[in-house]
Amino acid sequence: MSATLEASASLGKLKTIIASHLKRIASAEDLPEDAELASLGLDSMTAMNLLFDIEDQFSVAFDESLLTPEVFKSCRSLHNALLTLI
């Protein structure tokens, strides 16, 4: 699989995971990539559960340096961090 296809597939999967944790988002298709996740209901507890699901679904481990508000700001920022791990 090309890097572009892999990135696209991982983004779709990530959006599905994120949407499942946000009460204000009905589906992955409703999740804008640059929307601030906090404004969509992401709080610290939800972020931790989201992190565990992402690590489990992608078989990765987020380094402590990636556990920042900037990384969890949007789907795009989370995806960019994820791409450094897969």
pLDDT digits (tens, 9 = 90+) for 2-29: 556 566 779 999 999 999 999 888 889 9
Q: Angle, to 10 degrees, between the axis of helix 75-83 and the axis of helix 3-21? A: 130
Q: Which domain holds residue 31?
A: 3-83
Who's near 29: CB < 8 A, 6+ residues apart? none
Tens digit of each residue's pLDDT (9 = 90 or more) over 36-50: 999 999 999 999 999
Contacts of 57 (CB under 8 A, 6+ apart): 13, 17
Structure pTM? Answer: 0.89
Mean pLDDT of 54-58: 96
CATH number where 20 lies? 1.10.1200.10
Q: Give residue 5's pLDDT.
A: 52
Q: How large a percentage of the chain has pLDDT more than 90? A: 79
* pLDDT, average across residues 30-34: 93
Domain count for the chain:
1
Give the integer Cα–Cα distance in Å for 52 and 6: 21
